[in-house]
Structure 1
Amino acid sequence: MLHDAMWDDEFPHDPTICYLNHAAVAPWPKRAADAVSAFARENIHQGARDYPRWIQLEHRLRGQLQSLLNAPGKGDIALVKNTSEALSLVAMGLDWTEGDEVLISDQEFPSNRIPWQALEGRGVTVRQVNLDASDPEAALIAAMGPATRLLSISSVQYASGLRMDLERLGRACRERNILFCVDAIQSLGALPFDVQAIDCDFAMADGHKWLLGPEGLGVFYCRREARDRLKLTQFGWHMVEAMGDYDREDWTPASTARRFEPGSPNTLAQHALSASLELLLEVGIQRIQEALQQRTAYLLQSISSIPGARILSPSAPERRAGIVTFTISGCPNAWLFQQLKDGGIVCAERGGGIRWSPHFYTSQQVLDNALAILRNALQHYNRSR
């Protein structure tokens, strides 16, 4: 299994924990914690004396995110609080007409469902398409009709780990003049992601999952041609073109995606996220994808060999990301989840099963320890019946 000891210092191993929860909230690498510690010390001794340097770090962060998304320019990147805020900027910003339709899937996390459902009072219909078919993209494309204004889909479904063919969906949307919005939180930092290749209008992700950053800071990509189509709903000093000219009475929104950032930035989180992205870019997203494919393949094979195991995640490499969700026949998920938690496995109960989500640095030892804890829990359950 792909493993590079040079990254071990970034993720000190606690032998009492098997961390398999990157699809929820990820640990920080050491350099992110160091960046926050240094920022805190700077604030104690100097306050905001070097604020211009913080602004430079903000520019650097935009460049890192531009690289991860393959956005045409830094100006296409907005720094937002989270994925939900970015999705709400799109949902509340577009000029809807009664009878318009939004397509989503029936497997979406609430962040990619509730903002669209909030439009129903304006006469917008939200249609949830079932993805259980052998060709989920075909089901989404078949659902597109004359009233369809926008398709919003997760790049990877949070519960099952189903990976979507975004290029195919992007082509279908462009052919039908439908806006294409992608919730990329379960793929950005785990898989290659290219907003130009998939031809999307909007993409968003939070920093606290596969990007290994803190909660409270995310990214919003908005295609340049779509920028003016979003009515602004938040205003402040940071979103104007002449940012920093505080005496100026007249103002216009920034021509870049900064127009979606109304007020003071989360400088603390920016220091952490930039450090984490530095690590991911050093490793390389292609290499990260290869490491995740190896780890998920190993878990899929190992868990499948357990009597009564049922895998809820896709097995085909092109359909999987970093998520492995499973159930054990006859064993209640809630009971098993608690046993795994008590045994030191950090994971989640999602989508009718137990969800494990390693990252590129997760060692063979952690995977084997987790599998041993799972087997021991099942032995205990069978003995107690």
Structure 2
Amino acid sequence: MPSPLSARLQAVIGVSEDWVRDLYPATRDQVYLDVAAVGIVSTRVEAAMAEVLAAHGRRGIGAAAGWGAMIARARALVAALVGGHEDRVAFTQNTSTGLALVANGVDWSAGDNVVVPAGEFPSNFYPWTQLRRRGVELREVPMVDGHADLAAAAALVDDRTRVLAISAVQYSSGYRYDLAPLGELCRARDTLLVVDGTQAAGALTLDADATGIDVLAVSAHKWMLGPLGIGFVALSERAMGRLHPSTAGWLSVERPFDFDHEPQLAGDGRRFESGTENMVGIAGLGATVGIVLELGREAVETLVLDRTAELTELLIAAGLTPTRTSERSHWSGILIATTGDDDAALHRRLLDADVRCSLRGGGIRFAPHYYTTASDIERLAAALPA
């Protein structure tokens, strides 16, 4: 008889537990609850990447004929995943390079400012600190109970605020922000809303255009369950018109094979892609996004949040204290719990039992995904102290 967890997987995403598990070989010998650090890749991702490499090896430049269609398809899939438009998607190496497009692409003036939470992940904090040398002020939003105080953030935005930068999900607590009010605020103040979506995309629904996000920067190697070294930005029309490419290369232009001396920049997201594409990474990215869309964005989110709810009950029963809010609207796939004593010792115990998790945010960070099953929960329970 299927477990309640298995039955829920069947009911929510319409496929069997075995179907999902077969996609992810890494789940066979370990309980993988560490997606917030680095995700695992599916057999589809492996196959898509291997196909590009094999074609390159067999045909060299002759293989390039099919790559344009593959890139266009991946761009469209990414846009569908995050609620953007394919003409405003640009591929990047990772979140940092995506955010650098903004830090280096705005026409800054001395006296401008950037508003950013004090507890942001370094990828979404370090780039803004480098603007101080241009006379740009960095305004830090205070943190309250593991997340930024959005009322305080709004109070810091004025007519010299060029960027408000924030993560969709706070990495150190798992708190999920309501971004829509920030989108409205930034539109009213003519400020760019820049969002690090890496701890959300692939697990939670994002609708960039509808929410008012101007730049959504994502790395594929976490909740996207994609390859290392590939990411993307989804831009608003406003950001497309306001940001200048910080690195213009031969592929940034409308007609790259004309090799013009004074070319016209591409009118779409390609203007932010300077040189030879990461074909293998883009192929893997397209494959993993395809799985999420096949299962359904909302279904995946429901399953991920249900997984964390089940983990919460288990951890409380084992004497741990979860640190997240009680409001499901602010939940993410990240769940942090503490023993109140020696979290490091319990973390080592879990790793020794092949339960993958991380020490973060003053506790142990668990991050399940849609492939997490009842057997995973049982193995975690067995590894916890009585």
TM-score interval (norm. to shorter): over 0.9
* Deviation, structure 1 residue 15: 4.6
Take 1:39 and 1:258, find their aligned partners in 2: how far apart are those partners?
21
Structure 1 position 335 matched with structure 2 position 350: no
Take 1:61 and 1:75, find their aligned partners in 2: how far apart are those partners?
12
Aligned position for 1:371: 381
Take 1:77 and 1:219, find their aligned partners in 2: how far apart are those partners?
7
Are residues 225 and 178 of structure 1, via their aligned partners in 2, closer, same or farther at CA, if it must alter by over 3 Å? closer
Q: What RMSD over aligned residues (CA atoms) do the two structures have, in Å?
A: 1.7
Instruction: Point out the more displaced range, 333-342 or 163-172.
Output: 333-342
Instruction: Point out the more displaced range, 130-139 or 46-55.
Output: 130-139
Take 1:8 and 1:61, find their aligned partners in 2: how far apart are those partners?
24
1:318 to 329, 347, 350: 329
Take 1:314 and 1:49, find their aligned partners in 2: how far apart are those partners?
54
5 Å matches for 1:1-385? 1=5, 2-3=8-9, 4-5=16-17, 6-12=19-25, 14-71=27-84, 73-132=85-144, 136-246=149-259, 248-307=260-319, 309-331=320-342, 333-375=343-385
Take 1:222 and 1:14, find their aligned partners in 2: how far apart are those partners?
35
Take 2:351 and 2:223, find their aligned partners in 1: how far apart are those partners?
21
Note the alpha carbon deviations across 1:124-159, whole angstroms, 9 max, x for none: 111221231698322322332343222100000111
**Any idea what SS the aligned residue of 2:256 has?**
coil
Number of residues of Structure 1 aligned to a counterpart in Structure 2: 372
Contact 2:318 2:384 in 1 (8 A): no
Take 1:194 and 1:183, find their aligned partners in 2: how far apart are those partners?
13
Partner amino acid, structure 1, of 2:78: L
* Deviation, structure 1 residue 330: 1.7
Contact 2:91 2:232 in 1 (8 A): yes
**Any idea what SS the aligned residue of 2:163 has?**
strand
Are residues 310 and 274 of structure 1, via their aligned partners in 2, closer, same or farther at CA, if it must alter by over 3 Å? same
Instruction: Point out the more displaced range, 132-141 or 4-13.
Output: 132-141
Structure 2: state its 5+ residue gaps: 10-15
* Deviation, structure 1 residue 224: 1.9
Contact 1:313 1:323 in 2 (8 A): no
Structure 1: state its 5+ residue gaps: 380-385
Partner amino acid, structure 2, of 1:85: T
Take 1:374 and 1:108, find their aligned partners in 2: how far apart are those partners?
31
Contact 2:26 2:40 in 1 (8 A): no
Partner amino acid, structure 1, of 2:381: L
Contact 2:180 2:211 in 1 (8 A): yes
Partner amino acid, structure 1, of 2:21: D
Are residues 268 and 252 of structure 1, via their aligned partners in 2, closer, same or farther at CA, if it must alter by over 3 Å? same
Instruction: Point out the more displaced range, 170-179 or 322-331.
Output: 170-179
* Deviation, structure 1 residue 74: 1.5
* TM-score, normalisation: structure 2: 0.92
Note the alpha carbon deviations across 1:156-176, whole angstroms, 9 max, x for none: 011111000011111122222
Contact 2:169 2:197 in 1 (8 A): yes
Take 1:123 and 1:334, find their aligned partners in 2: how far apart are those partners?
42
**Any idea what SS the aligned residue of 1:93 has?**
coil
* Deviation, structure 1 residue 35: 1.6
Contact 2:52 2:279 in 1 (8 A): no
**Any idea what SS the aligned residue of 2:337 has?**
strand
User: Identity percentage over the alignment?
Assistant: 34
